[in-house]
Each structure stands twice: as structure tokens, then as C-alpha cells.
Amino acid sequence: MGNLKAHLALLTVNVIYALSYAYSKHVLADFIPPFAFILIRVLGATMLFWLLISVSKLEKIDRKDWVTLFLCGLFGVAANQLMFFEGLANTFSINASVIMVATPLIVLILSRLFLGEKMVLQKVIGVGIGMTGAVLLIVSRMGAIGGFSGYGDLMILLNASSYGVYLVIVKPLMKKYNPITVIRWAFTFGLIMVLPFGLSQWSQINWEMGFPQYWRITFIVLATTFLTYLLTVYSLGKVSPTLVSAYIYIQPILATLIAVINKEEELEPFVVVYGMMIFLGVFLVSIPINKTIGNQNLRKGAV
């Protein structure tokens, strides 16, 4: 039951991400520069996490874990968001979409190096199939890749790597502390690091926005930042970092379905094929290793 809740949480996270791209793009394009926008997101989410003090009281943190929490704020909040928006401003959106699907592969490798997670063939194949389906779907929807754009592509790759590091280093903390405690301190440290970048662009914000813009900002703070990070750390307490990252493959198929529902696109056969590849990849990654090994041993015993 716990794993089912984790899967539902991860599905919710990626539905929110799929819905929020247009919101973020519209607000960024006309009213708020990127670093100031990040500061609003992180500041709003941090305040909300501290308001949950009545639900999750302050826990005593072991001295050695403060360093890990600081690194969670660095890789999972500050570097992750700053490098993504910096990269997006200096590369093609198609490049960013393709590079981001490398995250599960990065997490798979880091989990093997730092958590001792077994790199079984089943997971490697699952990551490979899911990545292939996601890349093919993105490229088929958006046309040929715009081209290599050095600095911007590098920022997106570093962003993907940064988030991968975060998913791996935050996992052990979930065994010791409440998820709200972990994410509260990660965002607090992240806010401190984001603050100078955001303040440098704060004066450029155009506050003469209408209700639709303020609604979009509210949605991005409440749903795209606060709720998604909370659900992600909750899921990490139930499943592996590799599975959490593998759900990124679902975002392109969700974006496509949203476009079909809005009658912006038609449901083409290749979408179904690539979508099946994505879900097969996530399924292979999600199968518990011990269950797979146990079944293999059972079959051997039967022989």
C-alpha cells in the first residue's frame, strides 16, 4: 500500500509539472526575470514548510546531518533551479527536454556509487527503454533538434546532475527524519543561497500584473514548488531514487495528452508506441529487486 501511495504521489508530481510549463513561461516572459522568479518560488515554499510546524514539530538533527541538509539545499534547490533557468535562457527548449531525460541514468549511477544500490540488468534496461521513448516522443513532437548551444546545454546537464545528486543524498535522511523536517531545512538553506541572485533582479519585477498572472504565480509556488517537493521526499521514503527520477519520462506523454485534450494536437500512432515504451521502462525500474531475485531463485529451486 505504501508503494502504491508513492506511485500516486509521483504521478501527481509529474502531472503538476506538465501543467505548469505554460504558466512559468508566460509569467517569465512578460513580468518577472528568472532569478527573481526563483526567489519568489523558494521564499514562498520555505514559508509554507515552516507553517507546517504544527503538523511536524522540530526534530533534533544529528550534527553530522547538517552538512547533508546543506548539500540538499545546494543541489536540490539552489543549483537545481538556478542552472535550469539559466540554461533554458541560453539553449533551445528541445535541447533542454532531451538532456533532462538523462536524469534517471545519472541517478542510477550515483545510487550505485553512494548508496550501494544494485545496478541490475532489469533497471538498466528499464532506464534505457524509458529514455529512448521519451527522447523519440520529444523530438517527434517538437521537430528536429535546434542544434548544440554549448553554455546553455551545459547548464541543463549540470541541472540534471544536480537534481540527481539531491535525490541520492536525501534518501538516507528519509530513514531518520520526517519528510517535512528534511525538506524544510533543505529549502531554508536553499533560500539563503538563492537570495543574492534573486535580489539582484528584484527591482526588475513588473508588479502591474492582472489576476491571471498572480494566479499563475500562486499555482507555481503552492503546487509546482511546495507540493511537488513534499510529495517527492515522501516518495523517497518508500521507493528508490532511481524510480523517483524515472517518472520524469512520463512528463512528455502527459504534455502530449494535455495538448490532445485541449485539441491543440491529434493523437498520432507514434505517441501511443512511445508512450508504451515509457511506461514499460518505468515498470521495469519499479519492480523490487528482492522480489525479482526471489522469483528467480524459486524458479531455480523448481528445476
Whether 285 is in a domain gets the answer no
d(CA 160, CA 162): 5
Instruction: Convert the pLDDT of each residue in 110-160 to its tens digit.
Output: 777 776 777 677 777 877 887 787 777 666 655 544 455 567 778 877 888
Whether 300 is in a domain gets the answer no
* pLDDT average, residue stretch 227-236: 91
User: Residue 173's pLDDT is what?
Assistant: 92
- Cα separation of the two ends of the chain: 33
* pLDDT average, residue stretch 246-267: 71
Q: Please give the residue that has the higher pLDDT: either 22 or 109.
A: 109
Asked if pLDDT for residue 187 goes beyond 90, the answer is: yes
Whether 262 is in a domain gets the answer no
Is the CB of residue 238 less than 8 Å from the CB of residue 3? yes
Tell me the residue range of the domain where 172 lies: 2-118+146-240
Of 4-8, 27-31, 63-67, 217-221, the range with the lowest mean pLDDT is 27-31
Amino acid at 119: M
Whether 64 is in a domain gets the answer yes
Whether 303 is in a domain gets the answer no
Whether 216 is in a domain gets the answer yes
Report which of 230, 297, 249 is spatially closest to residue 56, judged by C-alpha positions.
230
d(CA 34, CA 152): 14
Whether 94 is in a domain gets the answer yes
Query: Quick one: pLDDT band at residue 279, thresholds 50, 70, 90?
Result: confident
Where helices occur in the chain by DSSP H, the ranges are 2-30, 34-51, 65-72, 79-88, 93-100, 103-110, 121-142, 150-170, 179-201, 211-219, 228-236, 241-246, 250-261, 269-286, 289-302
Query: CA gyration radius for the chain?
Result: 20
Number of domains in the chain: 1
Whether 292 is in a domain gets the answer no
> How many CB atoms are located within 10 Å of the residue 209 CB?
16
